Structure 1
Amino acid sequence: MGSKAKAYISMAIAMTTVGSSFVVSKWILEVFPIYLASGIRYGIAAVLLFILLYFTERPFPKFTKHDFLILCLLSLTGVCGFSILLLYGLQYTTATESGIITSTSPMVICLISFLFLKEKMSRRQWSGVLLAVCGIAAIHLLTGDTQEIVPGIPRWVGTLLIFGAVIGEALFTIFGKVLSKKMSPLCIATFATIIGFLMFLPFSIYEAISFNFSQPTILEWMYIVYYAVIVTVIGFVLWYYGVSKVPVSTSAVFTGIIAVSSLILSYIFLKEQFQWGHLIGIVCVLIGIFITTRQEKENLKQAHSSELKA
């Protein structure tokens, strides 16, 4: 299996775990306060990632103050910012709609990479991104449920919070792409998680003081363990591995899988209503991913052909 195929599979699995986090987060919020849940999650993940990094990549790579600054920005936007805005947003909207809104990441990531990283995109790649975004829009526009989740608070409040998480997710990918030139996927994931944990720590301690730790059941504790191990440890490493192997435009389109996985899992586990608009949107997202990855394969063939002629 080629490196590109491994990157595609890695990103697909990573974004599927993100989609599953919408369902798990709904369950977590029924028992745990936001900052405490996030602090425990990132604490567990930081320990596991550090142990893994210690035994596989010693000595640790050296990085400059500039690299450390980017790591801090990555953690602030893509770890803390994403988690806080997502968890608050989930209180005011459904897991299905949250996955839909979050998957506007392809457009946001591509615009940021186009404007700031000067990454060129072909017409076919833009078409793939637009198809993914249209699929997300179809899911949103062709489903007309506007019932408030929290009485007195309109759903657009949740929409704005989740879209804020989208921006954090986009910056998470962009900063990760920049760092991938100097650090391994495991190294980025480890230090980003450790810094994120330290950012959450003061707020987690404050909520822990008044929290009854005997209240959650074993199953409810396992939700946080799943979030830490599957979504954070495995998801982060797989995502940054994929991001390091492909253009930002390609990784951007793969974030559309969030919508697909969150829709299916919300339908299965949360019994949220599945509508025809969902199906149309899912098909558009998958076609968009196919178009974009196909274009990249053609670019690689052309580059290889040019090398042979040279």
Structure 2
Amino acid sequence: MTRVSPYALLVLANLLWGGNFVIGRAIAESLPPYTLSFLRWCTALLVFLPFAWPNVRKEWPIVRKHMPTVIFMALTGVAGFNTLLYIALHYTTSINASLVNSSTPIVICILSFFMLRERLNKNQTVGIILSLAGVLFILSKGSLATLFAFSFNIGDLLVIAALICWSIYSVLVKRYTGILPGYSTFLICIIIGIGILFPFFIYEAFITHVPITWSFGSLLTVLYTGIFASIVAFISWNSAVSQVGPGKAGIFLNLIPVFASVFAILFIDERLTWYQAAGGIFVVLGVYISTRITSPSGSGPLPLEQSAGANRS
């Protein structure tokens, strides 16, 4: 059986996550964020449990040994990222959220420096500056007055909190590749994530009585996010990151705003503004520069195959 390319897996994961941004925005008035996130992962658990449970029974001692790390992965990658994103999409557009989120590779580079002791090279430093400038341009809508007043959209700030969670999760995936078993760890993360989300779901559904509108669309949303944006996308991402490393995989996150923008324009009538386009160009350019790996002699970039291997551990 031919092995699927990790780069094809990265494209698939980001295609599905691009759709997640748009569907999260489209359903914002029908399904409140904690409810959507909780039901999403409950659906994912039901689908994934039969496939992963035999592995858990054999690999539980390994997972239990690293339980603090697994809990932190569940908090950041399962409960934190998605819930913060769904809350953010109540206040900002899916295009804006996906563009801000595209700075994730820069955050991954910074966290890899502190958590994995990976040194930042000149390209990464330049890329970080360009990407941060692009994010600030998007957040301020191209207005210096907004920038100096620091009166940013709360939704965009929540997206930043979400991408920090996702960056931590991605670095942990790379750090524990070969130590933690993939399927078993992911299943336990889902279970723990559901446990973290449960009290928030109860509070939202039964105490604050946030209205929920059930329809064919909301049902499809739960199924899409639970199966495709969770199981298929996460497994594809984790498999690819373990092969090429978080830094190299991170550049593919630039596909999320591309897919999200196309879907948003086609399906929910959003419009791409000039400041989003300008800021997005800076973000993408910064990420591109930061992920270019120069040859040992400094003569230029390595070929794709070599640069991918340089990130393996």
The TM-score, its normalising length taken from structure 2, stands at 0.78
Matches of 1:235 and 1:8, distance apart in 2: 13
Alpha carbons of 1:180 and 1:25: their partners in 2 closer, same or farther (altered >3 Å)? same
Name 1:115's counterpart in structure 2.
114
Alignment partner of 1:164: what SS? helix
**Does structure 2 conserve the Cα–Cα contact (< 8 Å) formed by 1:129 and 1:253?**
no
Give SS of 1:72's match: helix
* 8 A Cα contact 2:97 2:159, kept in partner: yes
Closer, same or farther in 2 for the Cα pair 1:218/1:78, shift >3 Å? same
In the alignment, is the contact (CA less than 8 A) between 1:95 and 1:266 conserved in 2?
A: yes
* Cα deviation 1:13-72 (Å, max 9, x = unaligned): 212222211111123321122222211110010121221223678733531545211110
| Gaps in structure 1 of 5+ consecutive residues | 147-153, 305-310
8 Å CA contact 1:22, 1:262 repeated in 2: yes
Following superposition, the deviation at residue 202 of structure 1 comes to 2.7
CA distance in 2, matches of 1:49, 1:74: 17
Residue 29 (structure 1) aligned with residue 54 (structure 2)? no
For 1:160-199, list aligned pairs within 5 A.
160-199=157-196
Q: Is the 8 A contact 2:59 2:181 kept in 1?
A: no
What TM-score do you get using the length of structure 1 for normalisation? 0.79
Residues matched between the structures, number = 294
Structure-2 residue corresponding to 1:75: 74
- Aligned residue number for residue 20 of structure 1: 19
Q: Mark the CA change 1:61 to 1:258 in structure 2 (over 3 Å): closer, same or farther.
A: same
Conserved 8 A contact 2:142-2:275? yes
Counterpart contact for 1:132–1:253, Cα < 8 Å = no
How far did residue 208 of structure 1 move? 4.2
Q: CA deviation at 1:254?
A: 2.2
1:269 to 251, 264, 267: 267
Question: 2:69 and 2:108 mapped to 1: Cα distance?
Answer: 17
Unaligned runs of 5+ in 2: 146-150, 295-300
The one-letter amino acid of 1:196's match is G
Distance 2:224 2:263 in 1: 15
The farther-off stretch of 285-294 and 81-90 is: 285-294
Q: After superposition, what is the alpha-carbon deviation per residue over 1:161-186, rounded to whole angstroms, capped at 9, x for unaligned?
A: 11111111111111121232223443
Which residue of structure 1 lines up, in the alignment, with residue 245 of structure 2?
Answer: 247
Give runs of aligned pairs for residues 50-61 of structure 1, distance below 5 A.
Answer: 50-54=49-53, 59-60=58-59
Corresponding residue for residue 257 of structure 1: 255
* Structure 2 partner of 1:151: none
Displacement of 1:128 after TM fit?
Answer: 6.2
Provide the alpha-carbon RMSD of the alignment.
Answer: 3.5
Distance 1:36 1:301, change over 3 A: closer
